[in-house]
Amino acid sequence: MRSFDEIREDLKHANDINDVDALLRYAQELDNIDAPLAKAASNRTHGKVLRLRSDHHGALERYNRALAIYQELGDRNGVAGVTGDIGKVRYSLGDYPAALEYHHRALALHQELDNGIGIAVDLCDIGNVYKRTGDYPAALEHYHRALALYEKHGYLAGVATNIGNIGNVYQVTGDYPAALEHHLRALALYEELGDRSGVASVTGNAGNVYSSTSDYSAALEHHHRALALYEELGNRSGVARIAGNIGTVYARAANYPTAIEWYNRALALYEELGEQSGVTMVMSNIVSAYLDMGSGSEAQSLLAVMDAMQIDEPGVRITREQHHAALQVLNNDLEGASQTLQRALVEAREHKIRSVVAEVHKALRDLALKQNDLAGYVEHNNEFTRINEEINGKDTATKLAMQAKQREIEARDRETEKHMAVLHSTLPKHIADRVAKGETINDHYDNAAVMFIDIVGFTSISSTLTSQHVTTLLDAVFGICDDACRNNNATRIKTVGDSYLAFGN
């Protein structure tokens, strides 16, 4: 039986690439170790497996068990990590206010612990919530802050992930050239890391960009490349996701029979894997395809199946209501369709999903036109236009806000770099780093000494030498002083000209 430390190393890699099968194996190994820390890690890992398989309530149960153990052990890093995990589940359940609360709680703990990677993960998670709710400037800011931390700590997997996240923001806001640029940068990093799962993911994201710009040939090329990678890796969840994306490409090209074939392939895989969110998402896409091709009876039959299912994701629930409304319109029940869409609008507003709010207003606008309701048409068209312009990125104000946020981030980074340069030029590195963190330095030493060295006659000596010889001389003298400091537990403070200042305790 392997030790906890041996398993933990493998577990870290499996966590980085979301390898569900490996995570489950390691969790089962941890189950056999009778130690509180191993039990906490086991519950946390089981929780992640359940979360990746869309069993959100099961994941919450496991995460809460892990949290209780970490709290009992006084393991604050463990508490912070699991708190963030719970935030991820709340995000998946569409409870975005609760998700933000948990992620900010985790962030505060990681900041207290000065855990840079943990802080970066929390910032990324907060960015995901803002992206989902349509606050793209805030999402971009958090992604950039996370990216800076990942770069500082040399964590290339995190760098690649956040560059991809930034690309996704540009994609949903309609800036497709910037989206592709970021996806290609992320792709290069994943290739450098040898992370084939990351390569597959970002290749699929690039395919989504091409699909959004109606370049269906390029979209299919990228999706099939990603699909082949996922198949080689045995990542069936990735295969299901890409199969669904390929279905969407064919649906956008109005090739509905082929779209439904790919959707059914994705659906079968999601059902085998027990990934409920994937099942309901693909079912919703199939209903859309049936409605677009005028197959109302098939759409109605599948919607009846969805009505009997528990659907946690508010976006899928709202889409289901929109499909019901579309069927009511087909049956000439315009008043019933209006009531259905109003219920969908209430839920979309409740969850603050602005893009979906805009979609429902558009559906209500089109319905008002069928009802010859001019006032309703104007009302819903104005709301659709207003919200759509706020969030789709093509609106000038939104683009300017994002550009301003980017300039603000870059200016802040430059000021930080200047501040650190001044600190490092005047203080020892370990002291400068503490000052940069906001720490008040008031260290006490019972015995201390300050050494100040000056080269006698340096001005006269240097006047007879070339600048290169002067530099060589100073390097030699200061190198001897540095060696003496290292051998006597002293620290060089600074050099000015031919003067050398050091401190010892």
Given the structure tokens 């009876």, which residue do they identify?
Answer: 297
Cα–Cα distance list, 310 to 145, 261, 277, 290, 348 (Å): 37, 25, 10, 22, 18
In a domain, 115, yes or no: no
In a domain, 478, yes or no: yes
In a domain, 206, yes or no: no
For residue 502, the surrounding DSSP H or E stretch is strand 499-504
pTM score over 0.75:
no
Given the structure tokens 């206010």, which residue do they identify?
Answer: 97
Spans in the chain with pLDDT lower than 70: 16-18, 312, 391-414, 425-426, 437-438
3-state SS, residue 401: helix
Comparing CA positions, the residue from 356, 361, 283 lying closest to residue 314 is 356
What is the DSSP code (8-state) at residue 496? E
Q: What is the pLDDT of residue 395?
A: 46
Give the angle subtended at the CA of 324 by the CAs of 321 and 326, to the nearest 5°: 110
Judge contact between 258 and 289, C-beta under 8 A: no
Per-residue pLDDT tens over the stretch 167-193? 988 887 778 888 899 999 999 999 988
Q: What is the pLDDT of residue 488?
A: 85
Residue 505's domain comprises: 444-505
CATH number, domain of 483, equals 3.30.70.1230
User: Which amino acid would we find at residue 111?
Assistant: Q
In a domain, 454, yes or no: yes
Rounded to 5 degrees, φ, ψ at 494 are -170, 165
Cross-sheet strand order for the sheet of 449-454? 449-454, 499-504, 490-496
Q: What is the pLDDT of residue 136?
A: 80
3-state SS, residue 136: helix
Buried (b) or exposed (e) across 368-403, using 16+ Cβ within 10 A? beeeebeebbeebbebbeebbebbbbebeebeebbe
Q: What is the pLDDT of residue 278?
A: 83
In a domain, 472, yes or no: yes
3-state SS, residue 273: helix
| Number of domains making up the chain | 1
Helix pair angle (314-330, 276-292), 10° resolution: 20
In a domain, 292, yes or no: no
CA-only gyration radius of the chain, Å: 29
In a domain, 375, yes or no: no
What is the rounded CA–CA span in Å between residue 309 and residue 469?
A: 82
In a domain, 439, yes or no: no
What is the rounded CA–CA span in Å between residue 70 and residue 76?
A: 7
Cα–Cα distance list, 458 to 376, 477, 494, 498 (Å): 88, 12, 18, 7
